[in-house]
Copies of this chain bind each other. A is one copy, B any other.
């Protein structure tokens, strides 16, 4: 144990290595930077790097492992309530990781766009978040017909909505309120799949005198009801 000199006294070794790596990736490019370059910049031995990061790619996304652990813990603790709300809240944990450090997030986004290997790595990470959410939903929908299908579709929809808003924010250079953008995007999923508790702005009585009266069987499946409502409202 000869490392932990200089900057390591101030920041944890893992962070020092991640920062050294990221500076070098920006300066020289990802492919052109070796692990030897990184440990030289950080002032530690080569084996220290691999103690913290399995690969160079992992050093670009140093917070995903702990974020995934946070998400898992959050969902483990989320027992009651609307399952779709729970996974939307879980997605917000990821967003906050990005939003906490906009400059780093934007620089990393640009780097990732330029390096195919990093995009592939990121796909794997995103897939792990999606599987975590789907696993939670599968448990909540265990008694549903097609519960596993529903769980996977909703998890994919939540991830897609989250990433749509996150990407817009990253592309804009980190301008504006990322959390509000993600909230707005997730609303599309909640409105399609969530239990949708009615709030104060109910649609009827909105000063619009054109109405539709519908009669539907209480035992009709939800999708059939939606079809008939859309049909009646001329949205098909």
Indicate if A189 sits at the interface (CB-CB under 8 A): yes
**When the two chains form their complex, are residues B206 and A219 in contact, meaning their CB atoms are under 8 A apart?**
yes
Indicate if A161 sits at the interface (CB-CB under 8 A): yes
**When the two chains form their complex, are residues B204 and A233 in contact, meaning their CB atoms are under 8 A apart?**
no
* Residues on B with beta carbons closer than 8 Å to the beta carbon of A226: 191-192, 196, 226, 229
Q: Which of A25-33, A72-80, A145-153 contacts B (4 or more CB under 8 A)?
A: A145-153
Please give the count of copies of this chain that the complex contains: 2
Assuming the contacts A208-B218, A217-B208, asked whether A192 and B233 have C-beta atoms less than 8 A apart, the reply is no
Bound Cα distance A224, B191 (Å):
8
Select from chain B the residue with minimum beta-carbon distance to A187: B223
Query: A149 is contacted by which of B188, B197, B203 (Cβ under 8 Å)?
Result: B188
* Residues on B with beta carbons closer than 8 Å to the beta carbon of A231: 196-198
Indicate if A112 sits at the interface (CB-CB under 8 A): no
Q: Shortest CB–CB separation between residue A155 and chain B, in angstroms?
A: 7
Assuming the contacts A188-B149, A229-B229, asked whether A224 and B203 have C-beta atoms less than 8 A apart, the reply is yes
Number of A interface residues at 8 Å Cβ cutoff, please give it.
65
Bound Cα distance A230, B220 (Å):
11
Q: Shortest CB–CB separation between residue A57 and chain B, in angstroms?
A: 11
Indicate if A160 sits at the interface (CB-CB under 8 A): yes
Bound Cα distance A202, B226 (Å):
11
Q: Shortest CB–CB separation between residue A193 and chain B, in angstroms?
A: 7
One digit per residue, 1 when the CB lies within 8 angstroms of any chain B CB and 0 when it does not, for chain A 34-61 equals: 0000000000000000000000000000
**When the two chains form their complex, are residues B211 and A222 in contact, meaning their CB atoms are under 8 A apart?**
no
Query: A206 is contacted by which of B184, B193, B217 (Cβ under 8 Å)?
Result: B217
**When the two chains form their complex, are residues B164 and A195 in contact, meaning their CB atoms are under 8 A apart?**
no
Q: Which of A8-16, A89-97, A102-110, A119-127 contacts B (4 or more CB under 8 A)?
A: A119-127
Given A203-B221, A208-B219, 20 further pairs, Cβ under 8 A: A146-B185, A149-B164, A149-B165, A153-B164, A153-B188, A156-B160, A187-B223, A191-B226, A192-B226, A195-B230, A196-B223, A198-B227, A202-B224, A203-B224, A206-B219, A213-B213, A213-B214, A218-B233, A222-B229, A222-B235
